[in-house]
Amino acid sequence: MSYTSDTPAPNSSPDPGEVNTFAPDAARCPQPVYARRREQCPVAHGEGFGAAMITRFEDVMWALRHPEIFSSEMDIQMALGTERPMIPQQIDPPAQTRFRKLLDPYFSRKRMAELVPDVRRHANELIDRFYDKGECEFDEAFAIPLPCTAFLHLMGLPLSDLDLFLQFKDDIIRLHKNHPDAPDPTPIRAASGKQIYAYFEDVIKQRRANPTDDFMGYLVKVESKGDRLTDNEILDISFLQILAGLDTVTATLGCNLTYLAENPKQRQLLLDDSDLYDGAIEELLRWETPVTAIPRVLKQDLTLHGVELKKGELVTLLLGSANTDDAEFEDAQTVDFNRKSNRHIAFGAGAHRCLGSHLARMELRVALETWHERIPHYRIKPGETPTFSPGIREALYLPLVWDVA
pLDDT the model gives residue 13: 38
SS (H, E, C) the chain: CCCCECCCCCCCCCCHHHCCCCCHHHCCCCHHHHHHHHHHCCEEECCCCCCEEECCHHHHHHHHCCCCCEECCCCCHHHHCCCCCCCCCCCCCCHHHHHHHHHHHHHCHHHHHCCHHHHHHHHHHHHHHHHHHCEEEHHHHHHCHHHHHHHHHHHCCCHHHHHHHHHHHHHHHCHHHHCCCCCCHHHHHHHHHHHHHHHHHHHHHHHHHCCCCCHHHHHHHCEECCEECCHHHHHHHHHHHHHHHCCHHHHHHHHHHHHHHHCHHHHHHHHHCHHHHHHHHHHHHHHHCCECEEEEEECCCEEECCEEECCCCEEEEEHHHHCCCCCCCCCCCCCCCCCCCCCCCCCCCHHHCCCCHHHHHHHHHHHHHHHHHHCCCCEECCCCCCEECCCECCEEECEEECCCC
Topology at the third CATH level for domain 16-401? Cytochrome p450 (1.10.630)
pLDDT at 176: 77
Q: Which pLDDT score is estimated for 6? A: 39
Query: What pLDDT was estimated at residue 343?
Result: 95
Tell me what pLDDT residue 185 has.
84
Per-residue pLDDT, 4: 45
- The pLDDT value given to residue 5: 44
Question: What confidence score (pLDDT) does residue 45 get?
Answer: 80
Q: For the chain, which ranges sit under pLDDT 70?
A: 1-19, 46-51, 76-78
